[in-house]
Amino acid sequence: MIEFIKTNIVPFIISIIVSVTTVLITEWIKKKGNLKIYVIDYNEKYLAYDSKNRCDIEEKTYTKDTKIIKVTITMDIYNNTSIPKIMRNIKLKVGNNDKINVKDKDAESFNHSIYHIEELHNLNVNPFTVTRKTIIIGFNRENYIKANKYYLVYRDSNNRLKKVKFERLIKEVNN
Query: For 102-161, how does the pLDDT look when each residue is reduced to its tens digit (9 = 90+)?
Result: 777 766 666 655 656 678 888 899 998 999 988 888 777 776 665 667 788 899 888 998
Separation of alpha carbons 105 and 73, rounded Å: 10
151, 93 contact by CB (below 8 A):
yes
Mean per-residue pLDDT over the chain, rounded: 77
Count CA within 13 A, CB hemisphere, residue 67: 10
For residue 170, pLDDT beyond 70 = no
100, 137 contact by CB (below 8 A):
yes
Q: Say which residue, 78 or 107, is predicted with more confidence.
A: 78
Within 10 Å of residue 121's Cβ, how many Cβ atoms? 14
Amino acid at 12: F
Q: What sign does the CA torsion over 130, 134, 140, 141 have?
A: positive
Separation of alpha carbons 43 and 40, rounded Å: 10
* pLDDT given for residue 132 in this prediction: 92
The edge-to-edge listing of strands for the beta sheet with 114-119 is: 57-59, 35-48, 68-79, 130-140, 103-111, 114-119
Q: Say which residue, 16 or 61, is predicted with more confidence.
A: 16
* pLDDT given for residue 17 in this prediction: 92
Separation of alpha carbons 72 and 137, rounded Å: 7
